[in-house]
Structure 1
Amino acid sequence: MLNKKKIYKSCFVCVLLFHQCVYTQISIKVPTTQTKKVTIKSRVVDTQNEPIPFANIVFINLETENKIGVISNEADGTFTIELPSGDYILEVSVLGYSKHIKKYTFTADTLLADIIFYEQNEQLDEVLIKADISKNIKHSATTSMTVNIQNDSLYKKISTADILTLLPGVQLDEEDSVKLKGESATITIDGKRQKMSTKTLMMLLKSIPGDQLKNIELINTPSAKHSGRLKKIIDINLKKQRKDGLLGSLSTMVINADLAIGASAIINYKTGKFIFSGMSNPYSYSKRSTKAFVDRQLLDNSLSFIETQENIRESRNGFNQFGVDYAINKKHSVSATMSLNNGSNDNNTDFTTHQFAFNTLTNQQFNTNSDNMQDKSYDLDFAYRYDIGEQGTRLDFASSYGFKKADYSNWNESELIDILNNITSNNTNRDTQEQENTQYSSRLDYATPLKDKKGKFEAGIKFDDLKITDANRFESFDADANAFETNPNFTNAFMYNEQVYTSYASFNANHKKLKYSLGLRLEHVETQSFSETTNQTFHNAFTNFLPVVALKYMTNKKETSNINLSYRKGYSLPPYIQLNPFESFVNSNTIKRGNPELSQSIYHLFSLGHTIKNKYFLTLNANFYNNLFQTTQILEDELTIISYKNLGTRSLYKANFSSSFTLFPWWRFNINQALSYSVLKNEDVDNKVFSWYTNLANSFTLPHDVVLRLSTYF
């Protein structure tokens, strides 16, 4: 039996050849009188402004009845044709869409508006799409690839978070962190970084249905336009309302594995020059339980600890965003957005610790630790766009302001049993922390296309300012006084300020089969921290020149296969909490201590990739980190001290492979594999670690649009 995919392709090609032959035969009947020639250009797109290739375009001359045909370009849906001037009927047809018919009069060269097609038979469209998933992926940019969500019937039936797990090279772990080809990835929505917790963002993505997405861009090598602290970016683009009217959706989600529930709403309303938009996840709840076992000991075995931990985490979050866009005229437009966030997190942990001296049990400790965090925040964003001329040159200005207030509380109870002396002691402590976070950012970006729009030059400047104030109060219960008393050893106030001055220039172009991008980013960072309790001030300043180079060579005409090579330099700053020199209480035998002397870490990322027919993706990475900072644990007088230190250099070598197969129209199979080899070296450590990871994801489309997903992790 012939494969359905081959049948559809064969029929489609036969139809195209038949039409082309007919058009070629009829078009030789030209009038005998001399007529002026005109050039007609346009583009064939769908309702999501995505190009439609292989559209049949026929111009019928009303005077001579001659027909002249052409087929739209495979890559961008454009077409160009030369005709005698006169009156014409234009007929454009695409398999699975309604036919487009319209009358025109051509007296000079004409650039027609985009020809927009509407689906005629959604079921037929889905069958064709399922037959060749690779057509949903485009490689128009050097540093990224774009997955068209609207052209895949499966993606329309599942959540945005589920879609991410099916994309090439994307990993989503149990802690809701997202990686792209083994590196931590930043999620943006419509090009904007969302200022919310990872948990809130993931709950939002789990409740946004796929049919509200336009496409997802996987940016493997962020250009110089992006921050030097970003390694990978996943940009999720929502559908936009282009005509007057309302577009949106309401959805709910329930996940049994994490006992998670949530709801979301997305609304776009256009009227005249205004577009009003809203995105809301008013309430979401999740609960997760974990167990852990820890064995720590000195090299001479003189002292060791065996600890078991049982943890229950509950999270309640809400997010609301409202925006308005106003087109002043063809050249000027403005937009404003307001976002509101709120969250509450409870973290309850029971510790049981056994202490040994030379393999003899000396102490037992039972510890209960309860954390609660409540936060509220709001963000205001303003943007102005100026389109200069008709060639695509533009100037963008954007500014944002954000404020967040968080209140933390901790309750700790412990019971220590001295087995050797048969003595039992009890301790109860509580800790409260108030934090305020203020962020301000402004940027100015300029972009202009190069000759024939085969490239683009971008440049810009940016300023970021971050201020954090942190006040912590620790109290211990005095059994004699039957009251809590402030413990000055763990009570402190800390302030942190970070300012970043940035400028960049980026150039990218296409030359036949070669796409390339070059960029340079300059970031000057100044940090200042002040401990009010100890009256100490710490200051650091760093200036980094961050080059970006990316090459992509398309190895076939359809641009579904390529070889890509990239290099990016970046840096990491330690979180402010790691710089606070004061000690904070964890439990009766563990404390945290910051290190104000921590310095930045510089990294160099090299990548070599090969994409084959948009189905097989292989990437080799070599990452080199200098002055790496990491968490350390040391024992001091039977206390575990958690601190932070610049540990030296690290070399990380990785290989990633991913692929997607449609085994049957109702069964989609995805595989993501990663191998890594890490070498960490400093004065005290020479650590070498080999690890591997495999994720097998199956998606089964059942009757009534029910989708069953089964994933396996190794």
Structure 2
Amino acid sequence: MFLFIAFMLSTAIVAQVKISGKVVTIENNPVEYAEVILFSDKSVPLINSLTNEKGEFNIEYQKGIYKLEIRQFKEILYTKNIELNSDFEAGNIPVNTTNTLETVVISKKKELIERKVDRLVFNLENTISAVGGDALEALKITPGVQVRNENITIVGKQAIRVLIDDKMLELGEEDLANFLRSIPADNIKNIEVITTPPAKYDAAGGSGLINIKLKKSQKDAWSLTLGSTYLHRSKDDEGSVTSNFMYNKNKLSLNSSLNYRNGGESFDYQDYIYFSDEFWNTKQTFNRDYKRLNGVLGIQYAATSKWAFGFQYITNLNKTKANRPAGSFVYEYHNDVPFKNITAATNSNQKPDFQSINFFNEIKLDSIGKKIILNLDYFNFSNNDSRPYRGTSEIRDPYDIQYFKGINNNMQSTNNYSAKIDLELPAKFADWSTGGKISVSNTENNIASFNSGLVDNPVTDMPQISHRFDYDEYVQALYFSANKKFKNLEVQAGLRMEATQTKSHDGNLNAVVNNDYIKLFPTINLSYSPAENSTYRFSYGKRIGRPNFSELNPNITYVTPFLSVEGNPVLRPYFVDNFELIYSYKKLESKLYYSIENNMYNQIGLPDDNTSVVRLTNRNMFNIKRYGISELYVFDTFSWWSSYTTFVLNYLTAETINIPANGVDGFYSNFSTNNDFVLNKEKTVLLNFNFQCMPVGTYGVNRLDLSSSTSLSAQYLLLNKDLKITLKANDIFKTDKMRFNSTVNGIYRDSNYYFDTQYLQLSFNYKLGSNKVSVAKRRTGNEEERVRTGV
């Protein structure tokens, strides 16, 4: 591998010099899509390039005497004679664009899928399949991402972490899903899938990060988008209203949104458990009604040409009520009639609230890009969770009945404080960056519970026992990274050090568990393009997966006296080494990947053959190796049809640790295709077809069975395409079911879960505002200030 890298470096470093600079207006705003041309001394054009969204350009050519010219719309804005003996940095080049842009609006549609040196960028606003949906629905159609129930993963890999505008969401699986459901997909600009994140990012997230970028305001414009959606499921309905306001004028930029959803959903669970003497068939229906309010407010102010500051505030308020009727039928193996029936009813009332605020400052140190970015962040997550339950256990012959009743109350509050500083230091040799972060998290759980067990008489009194569980986490990080672009080669490398201290305190046992460790997390991303449409990429990164606060909570929730769910306060982090080799040719991307995942944790059902009790808990329980291939193809040959298709196949080996089960080795496969069709010349009638299928799979101790999903969407554009009417039918054939089986402690369990993904959705979205925009699709405001990657 090192010989390969050395070969690429040696072929890239030839007798070339680099010409770079940044084209700006008189007001010091970047000029996008300006043409930069290098002429010979005889006025023969030699090489040209376009400025990017920051107004920057880079040209490499041989030493000599030339003329540098900048044009836009065939009008010459700037000329300069230059002699190239070494790299030439032009710095900021001010130009007068008043005449050229006075009556022109550039409209350049971005590629649906963009591949950068360290990430895949999915431009969600270029597809119709997520219109009217939410952020969780948007992730379901993102290439390389899989959402099953409330679990978000990279297809064929382990779980990831989710960011909103480069800010990590420290939420558990269920709470994260609820948060994403409150964000309209129409407010999302793009989704970044980062399988090998640069050193600037936190090392958390076993298989990488997903960064959801919200829409930002364009220069010298304002817009207001209003939307409403009605969604019908088989048992429940949902209604929502959304709004998004953006303003950018002079030195002030403002982005805000307010969104509300009210509805319900039902999940069906069925488990078959084969104990040594009896067979259990348990059926559950989880009915949930919810109200979700999400608000975002972001303000940025450019105090001077070198100093900008601002803040972003996010609030997410939820209120859910649920009931979970369950019934277990117990059979003897020689009899088809159950000898015991257990019925249970669990209710829950939850109020999860999330509040986040970010303050940021950006200070430019010079005209070539050196800057300091300071971020101060705080978030609070709180949840008042009450879950009473009751039921009976009846034996048929001879008839006998017993009762059970209980309640579980948990008041959880998590506060996180963090400070982060980034220094971006572009230089002739490479673009350097360094910085650090300090993060403090404190979680308090006040638990009050009662469980009667099976008793002969109905329970009338429930004296609750109080339980306190606290968890504190402190992380200090330093990083250093560099990015170098040669003629055909780009190298991005970095090293991150994180020191972590955790403290778990169990109030009932008066027990404290401390964990203190320091780890190094190297990353490298290489991109080599020997020809215009051909690119090779190699990446390696080391990651960590830390338990979230809900997974550590030892609070026990009883569904019945024979089925409980609990956390694990001694859960430890796991570590992942990811290797990827990617070849891209035009619209086709082929990937080979290999990962080593040590000390993995997951939820596991632990059955007891003597008591017939099943405990669902989290354990560090296996080491995993994955060998995989994936294909991604983007089809846009015809103006009326565009699509992207993915296929993943890997082989997984699992070695179990300290659990009474054997790991399952085997293949995993996944296929998906998303297609947009334009049905008329005016491009106002659109159709989308989406299909996903997972034929086979294994993970840890589980074997996964076939599942698939088919959806259709139709969209009609009115009023100069500012009004969108969309009708969507999701999971048409009701085949998106999770089927899996495992053998733990010698007991076989077969499960079949359905998460209410079949629905019909009608949405309306209308946009109004000012279109006086100098350059369309320009990224301004917080998006540039707060991007951590430097690419």
Pick the TM interval, shorter chain. 0.7 to 0.9
Gap change, CA 1:235 and 1:368, over 3 Å in 2: same
SS of aligned partner of 1:400:
strand
Matches of 1:50 and 1:156 in 2, distance apart?
Answer: 32
Q: 1:111 aligns with which of 70, 93, 102?
A: 93
Tell me the residue number matched to 1:707: 686
Unmatched tracts of structure 2, length 5 or more:
1-18, 83-89, 694-791
- Cα deviation, residue 497, structure 1: 0.8
Structure 1 residues 604-658: Cα deviation after superposition (integer angstroms, max 9, x where no partner): 1111111111x11222221111122222313152221223322231112222222
- In structure 1, give the amino acid aligned to 2:560: N
1:450 paired with 2:427, answer yes
Within a 5 Å distance, the mapping from 1:385-424 to structure 2 comes to 385-424=362-401
The Cα RMSD (Å) is: 4.0
2:629 matched residue in structure 1: 655
**Equivalent pair of 1:182/1:674 in contact (CA under 8 Å):** no
- Ranked by relative contact order (alpha carbons within 8 Å, sequence separation 6 or more), the top structure is 2
Whether 1:306 aligns to 2:277 is no
Distance 1:639 1:503 in 2: 47
Q: CA deviation at 1:40?
A: 12
Correspondence for 2:575: 602
Measure the CA separation in 2 of the matches of 1:413 and 1:628: 35
Q: Contact 1:180 / 1:220 at 8 angstroms: preserved in 2?
A: no
1:637-652 alignment runs, 5 A limit: 637-652=611-626
Give distance in 2, aligned partners of 1:494 and 1:84. 70
Q: Which amino acid aligns with 1:92?
A: Q
Letter in 2 for 1:468: T
1:585 aligns with 2:558: yes
Q: By how many angstroms is 1:75 displaced?
A: 7.8
**Structure 2: distance between partners of 1:708 and 1:423:** 60
Q: Are the counterparts in 2 of residues 680 and 686 from structure 1 also a CA contact under 8 Å?
A: yes
For residue 618 of structure 1, the aligned residue among 590, 605, 626 is 590
Which of the two has greater helix per residue?
1
The count of corresponding residues between Structure 1 and Structure 2 is 636
Q: Distance in 2 between matches of 1:325 and 1:567?
A: 36
Alignment equivalent of 2:239, drawn from 261, 264, 274 = 261
Higher alpha-carbon deviation: 496-505 or 469-478: 469-478
How far apart are the structure 2 equivalents of 1:503 and 1:424?
62
Say if 2:654 is the partner of 1:680.
yes
Larger Rg: 1
Structure 2 Cα separation of the partners of residues 504 and 184 of structure 1 = 24
Aligned to 1:379: 356
Q: Are positions 1:208 and 2:186 aligned together?
A: yes
Output the CA distance in 2 between the equivalents of 1:314 and 1:651: 40
CA contact (8 A) 2:405 2:459 kept: no
Query: Aligned in 2, Cα 1:302/1:160: closer, same or farther, shift over 3 Å?
Result: closer
What is the distance in 1 between the residues matched to 2:588 and 2:140?
16
Q: State the TM-score, normalized to the length of structure 2.
A: 0.71
- 3-state SS of paired residue (1:202): helix
SS of the equivalent of 1:177 reads strand
Contact 2:130-2:185 at 8 Å conserved across structures: no
**1:249 and 2:219 are equivalent in the alignment:** no
- Contact map agreement 2:550 2:567 (CA 8 A) in 1: yes
String of CA shifts for 1:581-614, please: whole Å, max 9, x gaps: 564433221124444333221211111111111x
Residue 302 of structure 2: aligned partner: 327
For 1:441, the equivalent position in structure 2 comes to: 418
- The corresponding residue for 2:463 is 486
- Distance in 2, matches of 1:174 and 1:378, equals 25
Q: Residue 256 of structure 2: which of 257, 261, 278 is its match?
A: 278
Q: Counterparts of 2:555 and 2:33 in 1: how far apart (Å)?
A: 61
Q: What amino acid is the match of 2:616?
A: I
Q: CA deviation at 1:71?
A: 7.4
Question: 1:515 is matched with which residue?
Answer: 490
Classify 1:421/1:137 alpha carbon distance in 2 versus 1 (closer, same or farther; 3 Å). Answer: closer
Q: 1:702 to 1:253 in 2, by over 3 A?
A: farther
Opposite residue 692 of structure 2, the aligned amino acid is Y
Give, as a single letter, the amino acid of the residue that structure 2 aligns with 1:637: T
Please, which moves more after superposition, 412-421 or 100-109?
A: 100-109
Aligned to 1:4: none
Deviates more, 1:526-535 or 1:477-486: 477-486
What's the CA shift for 1:158?
A: 7.8
SS at match of 1:199: helix
Q: Secondary structure at the match of 2:367?
A: coil
2:331 to 356, 363, 380: 356
User: Is contact 2:354–2:381 with CA below 8 Å preserved after alignment?
Assistant: yes
Which residue is 1:235 aligned to? 211
Q: Offset at 1:554?
A: 1.4
Letter in 1 for 2:607: I
Please tell me whether residue 92 in structure 1 is matched to residue 68 in structure 2: no
SS of the aligned residue for 1:225 comes to coil
Alignment correspondent of 1:16: none
Deviations 1:538-585 (A, max 9, x none): 21112211111221111323xx43111111111222233444456443
| C-alpha distance in structure 1 between counterparts of 2:419 and 2:535, whole Å | 37
1:188 and 2:163 equivalent? yes
Overall identity of the aligned pairs, in %: 18
Asked if 2 retains the 8 angstrom alpha-carbon contact of 1:546 and 1:570, the reply is yes
Which residue of structure 2 aligns with residue 465 of structure 1? 440
